[in-house]
């Protein structure tokens, strides 16, 4: 008897699974998350919907909630019809900058002129005829420009650390005296934020430039001026020049004296000739 009960229970479970499998509906958002949107541009989210029979889909809705989960940050954005959808159908949107459409296995949401008010967790829900539903979510944030870049020195490790307080997808590059840093000056860490200086002692100007899609910002660390190896060379040249000038001056003076003496001698001779 117990065995019979067990078999019945198994059959019922299988039947249930089979039935729910038929009515299964699933939705997922194809964009990678989190997404970063440049203010003023358009956010486009695509949802892929899968379900069994063609008229299974009853409705698709889009909404947004605050990333913090605060209930007052919840807003309905668009409501789309279900039924059999041979072509894309426009959905009813609740905001002027929102547009959505639905077709047989997809729904697309557009949020134009993206701004601070549009950040949050976007959720799309597909509901079936039997009331079953599936929801997919995607975190959407504002793409921020780079600002507040700083460079600090780590004396014990002879390295410079570039910190950026704000900015999405920062890319770092380093300059020494306005030229790109070469292997002779230092080594940049894989993430780009640290420069290990190999040319010691650390001298001159080191600039860290942080850039992203919206522009760049930079900061400079100024160490003691570099002892240029060229200075000794130019000093020698100046000294040589001065010596040459002195020598030249001396020679010119000697020549002038000799010339004057000879002239004076000539004049003396002429004077004597006149008197004779
Ligand atoms: C200097 O760099 C090392 C290695 O990255 C780190 O462990 C240390 O805390 C840093 N020191 C300072 C003062 O930041």
120-128/57-65 β-pairing: antiparallel
pLDDT tens for 70-93 read 887 789 999 999 887 778 899 999
pLDDT at residue number 266: 59
Mean pLDDT in the chain? 83
What is the mean predicted confidence (pLDDT) over 7-27? 58
Q: What distance in angstroms lies between residue 211's CA and the mean position of ligand 1's atoms?
A: 25
Distance CA 232, CA 228 (A): 8
At the top level of CATH, the class of 150-222 is mainly beta
pLDDT at residue number 26: 94
Q: Which of 156, 160, 190, 197 to mutate to test the pocket of ligand 1 (most atoms within 8 A of CB)?
A: 156
Q: Going by C-beta distance under 8 Å and a sequence separation of 6 or more, which residues neighbour residue 68?
A: none
With a 6 Å cutoff on the Cβ, whether 187 touches ligand 1 is no
Distance CA 190, CA 136 (A): 35
Nearest atom (ligand 1) to Cα of 194:
5
E-strand ranges in 155-243 read 159-166, 171-176, 179-180, 186-188, 194-197, 205-212, 215-222
How many Cβ atoms are within 10 Å of 228's Cβ, its own excluded?
11
171-176/159-166 β-pairing: unpaired
- Cβ atoms of residues 69 and 53 within 8 Å: no
Alpha helices, H only, 111-205: none
pLDDT tens for 117-154 read 999 999 999 999 999 999 999 999 999 999 999 999 99
pLDDT at residue number 32: 82
Entry pTM: 0.67
Q: What distance in angstroms lies between residue 11's CA and the mean position of ligand 1's atoms?
A: 65
CA gyration radius, the chain: 41
pLDDT at residue number 15: 47
pLDDT at residue number 253: 64
- Cβ atoms of residues 74 and 36 within 8 Å: no
Does this chain's domain 23-142 share its CATH topology with 150-222? Answer: yes
- Cβ atoms of residues 100 and 119 within 8 Å: no
What is the mean predicted confidence (pLDDT) over 181-195? 92
3-state helix, strand, coil in the chain (%, to 5): 30, 40, 30
pLDDT at residue number 274: 55
Instruction: Give the domain ranges of the chain.
Output: 23-142, 150-222
Does the domain at 23-142 match CATH 3.40.50.720? Answer given as no
Q: Is pLDDT above 70 for 231?
A: no
pLDDT tens for 105-127 read 999 999 999 999 999 999 999 99
What is the mean predicted confidence (pLDDT) over 228-249? 59
Q: Which of 152, 153, 154 to mutate to test the pocket of ligand 1 (most atoms within 8 A of CB)?
A: 154
37-51, 62-76, 86-100, 241-255: which range is least confident on average? Answer: 241-255
Query: What order do you get walking across the sheet with 159-166 strand by strand?
Result: 147-154, 159-166, 194-197, 186-188
Distance CA 86, CA 198 (A): 67
């Amino acid at each position: 008897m117990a065995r019979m009960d067990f078999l019945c229970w198994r059959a019922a479970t299988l039947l249930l699974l089979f039935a729910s499998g038929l009515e299964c509906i699933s939705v997922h958002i194809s964009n990678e998350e989190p997404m970063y949107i440049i203010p003023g541009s358009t956010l486009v989210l695509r949802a892929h919907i899968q379900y069994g029979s063609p008229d299974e889909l009853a409705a698709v809705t889009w909404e947004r909630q605050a990333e913090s989960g605060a209930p007052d940050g919840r807003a309905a954005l668009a409501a789309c019809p279900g039924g059999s959808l041979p072509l894309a159908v426009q959905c009813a949107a609740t905001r002027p900058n929102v547009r959505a459409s639905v077709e047989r296995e997809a729904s697309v949401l557009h949020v134009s002129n993206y701004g601070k008010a549009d950040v949050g967790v976007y959720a799309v829900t597909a509901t079936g005829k039997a009331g079953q539903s599936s929801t997919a979510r995607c975190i959407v944030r504002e793409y921020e420009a780079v600002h507040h870049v700083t460079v600090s020195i780590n004396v014990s490790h002879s390295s410079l650390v570039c910190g950026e307080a704000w900015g999405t997808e920062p890319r770092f590059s380093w300059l020494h005296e306005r030229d790109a840093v070469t292997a002779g000056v230092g080594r940049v860490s894989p993430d780009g934020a640290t420069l290990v200086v190999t040319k010691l002692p650390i001298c001159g100007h080191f600039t860290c430039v942080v850039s992203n899609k919206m522009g760049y910002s930079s900061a400079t660390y100024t160490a003691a001026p570099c002892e240029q190896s060229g200075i000794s060379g130019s000093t020698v040249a100046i000294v040589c020049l001065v010596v040459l000038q002195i020598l030249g001056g001396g020679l010119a003076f000697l020549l002038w004296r000799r010339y004057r003496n000879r002239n004076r001698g000539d004049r003396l001779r002429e004077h004597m000739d006149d008197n004779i």
